[in-house]
Chains A and B, each alone.
Chain A
């Protein structure tokens, strides 16, 4: 089951929310746990089983190393690192060698964060297996994040919040996220797909740039759409899940972009890898080294393939350059910064999108045809597809600007207009889901 499933939207979600609100306080968490188990289990029972085993293991390990207390610091450290290594090993094993269970990259990172916080004393160890399981299985964030810290979520387990305003706010955010995914991302995916149907060799240069723009927008609206839906659903249950996307395309540097894009992953790497390694406090050489390590890991987190490693490295190079001198220039001349980000980031996404090195080379030679033309190119292809997809491309570009999303979701003014607009978006999305084949979330494979 995914959020853009009609069965989810019209059956699972209303039923689970209604039960949560109706049921007495001490049973509410059980609704969440059972609902989340169903949500995950209906997709795949063995994956749900795996997470269950993971949950029990980590619950026990946290208890074990916590129990060592002050008396046995070395044993405590050993057990802690054993936990970290085992969790990481499981993640790496699946990413290399097996069918990757849905959400494993996300929940493993949340487990690692929890264990580290408990070890450092920043977070109280959870003594209820039920609550711990509810946290890990919690269905709004199970499949694609956001990656949370334990104390961002656990408060609601003790003090559930059931208010009508939350239902409304949450649903508004959910409706927008759904529209992003179904009306923008899924449609633009068609344009990007056309490029591989035609074959990169035979795509005209304008078409290649158009395709790159389509992929860029598709990736943003797919993942942002999912994240908004997650936040929206969380809000309906009274939870304040962190925002994953803070208008990244309004950044002036790549460094800023990655504080705004998939923000929870960025903060995870910052808090659990970069800062523990010393961050930027041990001189420039060490900083660059730390950045390289973080970005290699970030690439690998997305997939254990060469193209993700190359993607991570290319971003490292840009960020390192920015740290050395580029950022000052970009921040002084914002226009330059905006153009730079809008040009460079889509190019880096092409590393993300092409697993095959030959394809990548072909594609770049179409983008920058200095070495000559392609093979059997139809010169009017970009015009045809551009016109066909124009409404989606334009709408996509429009919603990159923060003002629109903020207006629809955040402001209290013009409530009637925004409500009618969101209702229309919601029903158009439903109609679109109903009448076309579904497109699983791109990040679901992680």
Chain B
């Protein structure tokens, strides 16, 4: 043995460590078998959610619900459903109209975002860098996910604060959340939606007077969608439908950001992305533009 150690020290050390590790791992997996686990994680790493920047006129076809208006002007009703109801006083909780929440959207200027908080992963982090919304606040962390939203080590990239700290120390008028791509490989859609809903409740508790915008998960480019069993657009759409159901039309709204970043086939246009998932910096102004055009004026919001 001593001779082996002297002639082949590196191999000897490696063998010893390997043997020890194998023993520990063996014991570990035996213990772990008793703990139930959710469906396999897809190894989501520090990949930040793909941000899809809406490209062109796609925006106008999908977001016909977003009415252009100034804060004081009347809203233009959608042709099919609002016959004769083109008044400013339309109640926000008129639930008889399925298009209610989208009909509330109108344009604002940048000052709308001075009391806004954006919560998200690397896509939102890039929005902070490239979106030009200097007045807004951001809580971003590469790889941020809904299951560990309030826990360390999920702290803001710039300030190092946890989300709870941020929500407890400031008052925000509106909070935008974009999460979901990092969670594609973990849990079922229902599991994801339940945790998302729980997170929204915590945020609501800490910020009772903030408008909550649930942004839809952005699509991935066709190449990825066609090949990847986890990160593909049909699954993303399924999750977005679940997110849509989390809105209440009164103070929690579903913000279909994905609509601005889809092409006719429902994929992220290839030119917007270098890796089929993230959005290139120069297209972030499209996100900002979409945000500016689709805001809910505070008088339409009803808090409990």
- Is B17 an interface residue, CB under 8 A from the partner? yes
The reply on B10 being an interface residue by CB < 8 A is yes
Residues of A within 8 A of B284 (CB): 376
Taking a contact as CB atoms closer than 8 A, the residue among A10, A175, A378, A426 that contacts B129 in the complex is: A378
A437, B45: Cβ atoms closer than 8 Å? yes
Alpha-carbon gap, A380 to B281, bound state (A): 13
Whole-angstrom distance between the Cβ of A59 and the nearest chain B Cβ: 37
List A154-169 residues whose CB lies under 8 Å from chain B. Answer: 164-165, 167-168
CB-CB contacts below 8 Å: B1-31 with A: 4, 7-11, 13-14, 17-18
Nearest CB in chain B: distance from A412 CB, A: 12
B274 within 8 A of A: yes
With most chain B CB atoms within 10 A of its CB, the pick from A202, A416, A422 is A202
Residue among B11, B18, B274 with most chain A CB within 10 A: B11
Inter-chain contact B275/A201, CB cutoff 8 Å: no
Please name all residues of chain B whose beta carbon is closer than 8 Å to the beta carbon of A199 when the two chains form the complex.
Answer: 274, 280-283
- Nearest chain-A residue to B6 (Cβ)? A415
A168-B10 in contact given A197-B280, A427-B17, A436-B45 (Cβ < 8 Å): yes
Cβ of B130 within 8 Å of any chain A Cβ, yes or no, is: yes
Question: Are B275 and A172 in touch, CB under 8 angstroms?
Answer: no
Q: How far is the CB of B275 from chain A (nearest CB, A)?
A: 5
A203 to B284, CA, bound (A): 14
Chain B residues with CB below 8 A from A422, complex form: 10
Q: Decide: A196 and B10 in contact? CB cutoff 8 A.
A: no
Interface of chain A, main secondary structure: helix
Q: Does B187 lie at the interface of the complex (its beta carbon under 8 Å from any beta carbon of A)?
A: no
Which residues from A are CB-within-8-Å of B126? 198
Interface string of B30-49 (1 = CB under 8 A from A): 00000000000001010000
Judge if B266 is at the interface, Cβ distance under 8 Å.
no
Report whether A381 and B129 are in contact in the complex, using a CB–CB cutoff of 8 Å. yes
Q: How far apart sit A420 and B126, CA to CA, in the bound complex (Å)?
A: 42
The smallest C-beta distance from A16 to any residue of chain B, in angstroms, reads: 15
Interface residue total, chain A, C-beta cutoff 8 A:
33
**Interface check B285, CB cutoff 8 A:** yes
Q: Please judge, given known A-B contacts A197-B274, A436-B45, whether A168 and B9 are in contact too, CB under 8 Å.
A: yes
Q: How far is the CA of A294 from the CA of B10 in the complex (A)?
A: 42
Question: How many interface residues does chain B have, given as a range?
Answer: 20 to 34
Question: Which of B7, B17, B130, B278 is close to A165, meaning CB atoms less than 8 Å apart?
Answer: B7
Residues of B with C-beta under 8 A to A427: 17
B284 nearest in chain A by CB position: A376
Interchain CA distance A423-B18 in the complex, whole Å: 11
Closest to A203 in B: B281
| A198: B residues at CB distance < 8 A | 126, 274, 280-281
Contact status B281-A193, CB under 8 Å: no
Q: Which residues of A contact B18 (CB under 8 A)?
A: 10
A24 to B197, CA, bound (A): 67
Quick check: A196 and B130 within 8 Å, CB to CB? no
Q: In this complex, what residue of A is CB-closest to B129?
A: A378
Q: Is the CB of B274 within 8 A of A168?
A: no
**Which residue of chain B is the closest to A166 with respect to CB atoms?**
B8
Q: Does B274 lie within 8 Å of A164, measured CB to CB?
A: no
Query: How far is B126's CA from A175's CA once the two chains are assembled, in angstroms?
Result: 38
8 Å CB contact of A167 from B11, B13, B275: B11
The one of A167, A193, A376, A436 that contacts B130, using a Cβ cutoff of 8 Å: A376
Contacts of A415 in B (CB 8 A): 9
Whether a CB of chain B sits under 8 angstroms from the CB of A171 is yes
What does the 1/0 interface line of A166-199 toward B look like (CB < 8 Å)?
A: 0110011001000000000000000001001111
Contacts of A374 in B (CB 8 A): 282
Residue A19 is within 8 A (CB to CB) of chain B in the complex: no
Q: In the complex, which residues of chain A have a beta carbon less than 8 angstroms from the beta carbon of B273? A: 197
> Given that A423-B14, A426-B14, A437-B43 are contacting pairs, would A376 and B281 also be in contact in the complex, using a CB cutoff of 8 Å?
yes
**How far, in whole Å, are A193 and B126 apart by their CA atoms in the complex?**
15
The reply on A433 being an interface residue by CB < 8 A is no
Chain B CB within 8 A of A61 CB: no
Tell me which of A165, A171, A196 contacts B275 (CB under 8 A): A196
A375 to B280, CA, bound (A): 11
Most A-side CB within 10 Å, residue of B4, B9, B10, B129: B10
- Are B285 and A376 interface neighbours, CB within 8 A? yes
In the complex, the answer to whether B11 meets A171 with C-beta atoms within 8 Å is yes
Q: Which residues on B sit within 8 Å (CB–CB) of A175?
A: 10
Taking a contact as CB atoms under 8 Å apart, the answer to whether B14 and A378 are in contact is no
For the complex formed, measure the closest distance between the CB of B10 and the CB atoms of chain A, giving whole angstroms: 5
Q: Are A168 and B8 in contact, with the CB atoms below 8 A?
A: yes
- B10 adjacent to A201 (CB under 8 Å): no
Question: Is the C-beta of A419 less than 8 angstroms from some C-beta in chain B?
Answer: yes
* A400 part of interface (Cβ distance < 8 Å): no
A376 and B14 alpha carbons, distance in the complex (Å): 50
Interface check A377, CB cutoff 8 A: yes
Q: What is the CB-to-nearest-CB distance from A353 to chain B, in angstroms, rounded to a whole number? A: 13
Smallest beta-carbon distance B204→chain A, Å: 32
* Bound: A177/B13 CA distance, A: 18
Shortest A332–chain B CB gap in Å is 43
B275 adjacent to A197 (CB under 8 Å): yes
Contacts of A196 in B (CB 8 A): 274-275
Q: A376 and B11: CB pair below 8 A?
A: no
**A171 proximity list for chain B (CB < 8 A):** 8, 10-11, 14
* Chain A residue at minimum C-beta to C-beta distance from B17: A427
**Alpha-carbon gap, A167 to B12, bound state (A):** 11
Q: How far, in Å, is B272 (CB) from chain A's closest CB?
A: 9
Complexed CA–CA distance, A81 and B251 (Å):
79
The 4 closest A-B pairs by CB, nearest first: A199-B280, A202-B281, A196-B274, A168-B8
Other A-B contacts than A10-B18, A168-B11, 16 sampled, CB-CB below 8 A, are A171-B10, A172-B10, A197-B274, A198-B126, A198-B280, A199-B274, A199-B280, A199-B283, A202-B130, A375-B282, A377-B281, A380-B129, A419-B9, A423-B10, A426-B10, A426-B14
Q: List the interface of chain A (C-beta within 8 A of B).
A: 10, 164-165, 167-168, 171-172, 175, 193, 196-199, 201-203, 374-378, 380-381, 415-416, 419-420, 422-423, 426-427, 436-437
Residues of B within 8 A of A (CB): 4, 7-11, 13-14, 17-18, 43, 45, 126, 129-130, 273-275, 278, 280-285
**28 A-B pairs in the complex with CB atoms less than 8 angstroms apart:** A10-B18, A165-B7, A167-B11, A168-B8, A168-B9, A171-B11, A172-B10, A196-B274, A197-B274, A197-B280, A198-B126, A198-B274, A198-B281, A199-B274, A199-B280, A199-B282, A201-B281, A202-B282, A203-B281, A376-B281, A378-B129, A380-B129, A416-B9, A423-B13, A423-B17, A427-B17, A436-B45, A437-B43
